[in-house]
Amino acid sequence: MFVFDKVTSRRFLSAVFSATVALAGVAPPASAQTVASDGSVLPFPPQPMKGVAKPRLQDSTMEWPATPERLPAGAPNILIVLLDDVGFGVSEAFGGEVRTPTLSRLASEGISFTGFNTTSICSPSRAALLTGRNHTRVGSGTIAERAVAFDGYTGVIPKTAATVAEVLKNYGYHTSAFGKWHNTPATETTAIGPKDHWPNAYGFEYFYGFLGGETSQWEPRLTENYDAVEPPHDDPKYHLTEDMVDKALKWLDDYRAYDPDKPFLMYWAPGGAHGPHHVFPEWADKYKGKFNSGWDAYRERTYKRQLDMRVIPANTKLTERDPTMASWDSIPESQRPFQERLMEIFAGFVEHTDVQVGRLIDGMESRGLKDNTLVFYIFGDNGSSAEGQQGSISELLAQNNIENTVEEQMAALDKIGGLDALGTGKTDNMYHAGWAWAGGTPFKGTKLMAGYFGGTRNPMVVSWPGHIKHDGKFRQQFHHVVDIAPTIYEILGIKAPKSVNGYEQLPIDGTSLAYTFANADAAPQKLEQFFDNNGSRGLYLDGWFADVPGPFTPWDTPGSAKRLASWDSAKDEWELYDLKTDFSQAENLAAANPGKLAEMKKRFLDVAEENKDFPIGAGNWLRLHPEDRIKSSYDKWTFSHTTRRMPEFAAPGVGRESTDVRIDAEFGENANGVLYAVGGAGGGLSVYMQDGELVYEYNMMIIENYQARTDKIPAGKHRIEISTAIPKPAGPAEVVITVDGKEAAKTTVRRTVPAAFTATESFDVGADLGSPVSQAYADKRPFAFDGKIGRVDIELAK
């Protein structure tokens, strides 16, 4: 038995790996064999053995090579926390009214940034953060589910843009990611893959979270590394954000046990506070009555606090509400309890999320890891989200452009429990766009608007005990999420590699912000930054900002659809702001300085072309052509009773397209359970047995529900056929059900969902995993079928 100390063990493992590679006849790329080990080419070439190999064993000497030290002594652990859909004016640490004890604590220990920006939308911000490159340059001009066939919008981060995790792993870091990923094509998230665009393939040694853009906090669609995993079905205390902390601390325990001498990189990106807004009622109840004066008053109060706290410059103006957005005074008294509760739930969700960040930080501290951990706490991947429109119980109503009224939503809510159902697994609720606008105080705009800071300006706090000293001053230098990776590289003395795994690398677009750490008043070093999302676009250039608000108004999806039909980007009206004197984009100088505007418009087109941004507004393509959404290339499928967790975007379009479904199954007496289902409580389709009767249920985003029910099906083997005819996207559906060739039931679905019921729920055979489509069996989920399913055949109808 051999006993090695830590150093010998590491050298042994490194040498065995090198020897194994050599014996296998696998040589590194030619460039890696000739380039010195300076990090310009990754991975580093293997270390040659130091011993001497002679023909005779007794004439040979054996010596393992020393493990190269590629990092500076005391290289820090790195924690990147990225919250979701929270704007500049939400946190108490930046003048808002939502308690964030962890952000406030880290701000008191480190430094705070008020000039930090994101891309205005989820996937693009994450791609830019991880690669240090502009979002369209790395194929991420829109969210993964809305990818289209233009180079800047494919939803695929190319291997020519190695992530910071991939680079640091080559230098000896252990790497992990938890929570929301949202950088994998939606059709590539099945169990069969391909999986070369999953987190593990981008440099993360461990991943635990969800691959899509959002998920239920109560029944999340989870992935661990390359495998789908299920949360507990019957734990009333389960919440995804808390689960993420537990898994992260478990990973840290493994790290400390197995290889504690190496530093780690952890990317921790919760679903909070993206919709659906799910949190335990006691967290929402902390804010009861706090928002009954409405969003206009919230902005006024927050603006005054921001001035008093010096979060914003003394000459900052509070921008006005857009004429198309409702004032609080215009909200009928009968609707106000609904609107107030939605905001209370959001606030509770944000505080709960921040407290979980605190649990993670405390866990690091109790393990002796905090003192040498560099923390980037980015409070949002974009501004607050207006996708709740007028307040919603099913947030994808807006993504699908399904017209509805608040009265319809409140009536539907009453059927499932009223206000008490908000924030639970029964709804996919999101607050009124007015609250999102208030959450962006003092700016104009919201998430999805890259031309206004309400969509792009997010608080950030950086903490590094013993290295960054708190001085009580806000950093106002203009920076962007692309600047995080180069900041890390500078701190570690790492050069951005020219080649990784044989792929020549794209240039880094970001500028390190490390120069601000010791000097709040340092002259800005970032001179230019380009923005574009859905045609809302802008250019920062040495203190100036030129922008177009864009054709898409996030709080008015139906109105935007009409504008988009005739939109021409070449005819857009541009705005111009001098940020040196106008922090909030309040004074449009376009008419007063046409020469500067013309210069910046020209420069924008040059930068946009260089960054593969053309055609401008490509993110709107699917709003004009919903039939072009990414989907499976197949038109027929055969499933067994074991088919589970097939992502909706890769599954047959049941409920969206004309389909013929055939089920061969054996039924018992008074059979129960789901035959197949897609979607969740916020919207979906389920075909299930209830005490011997077959039920077809179409949950049209909660606000409408359509059902067909057969007579009892006797025990034995039967063939069920379900024929659905949908003439066009969002059109009505005629559904006919036959049992053993005889018509047994039919129904008409007045309108259908054109794009997707959900972002991450799945198509399942024999059960309804995750969020249940039907409230009829919600308390029995996953309501597995108690018979035997032979096969399920689905074919798109011609």
State the average pLDDT over residues 569-581: 97
Full DSSP string of 694-716:
EEEEEEETTTEEEEEEEEEPPSE
Contact 350, 217 (CB under 8 A): no
Report the sign of the C-alpha dihedral through residues 650, 654, 657, 663, in that order. positive
Q: Is the pLDDT higher at 623 or at 604?
A: 604
To the nearest 10°, report the CA torsion of 152, 158, 161, 163: 110
How does pLDDT run across 8-28, given as a tens digit for each residue? 344 333 443 343 333 333 333
How does pLDDT run across 306-363, given as a tens digit for each residue? 999 999 999 999 999 999 999 999 999 999 999 999 999 999 999 999 999 999 999 9
Contact 221, 243 (CB under 8 A): no
741: left (phi over 0), alpha (psi -120 to 50) or beta: left
Which pTM does this prediction carry? 0.93
pLDDT band at 630 (very low <50, low <70, confident <90, very high): confident
- What is the average pLDDT score of the chain? 93
Burial tier of 567 (Cβ tally within 10 Å: 0-12, 13-18, 19+): middle
pLDDT band at 29 (very low <50, low <70, confident <90, very high): very low
The pLDDT, as a whole number, for residue 37 is 54
How does pLDDT run across 104-122, given as a tens digit for each residue? 999 999 999 999 999 999 9
DSSP 3-state of 718? strand
State the average pLDDT over residues 191-200: 94
Q: Which two tokens stand for residue 177?
A: 């990611």
The Cα 333–Cα 331 span in angstroms is: 6
User: 308 vs 111, 297, 689, CA distance in Å?
Assistant: 18, 17, 62
How does pLDDT run across 753-770, given as a tens digit for each residue? 998 999 999 999 999 999
- Whether 779 shows a pLDDT value over 80: the answer reads yes
Contact 548, 451 (CB under 8 A): yes
- Whether 778 shows a pLDDT value over 60: the answer reads yes
How does pLDDT run across 545-565, given as a tens digit for each residue? 999 999 999 999 888 988 999
pLDDT band at 629 (very low <50, low <70, confident <90, very high): confident
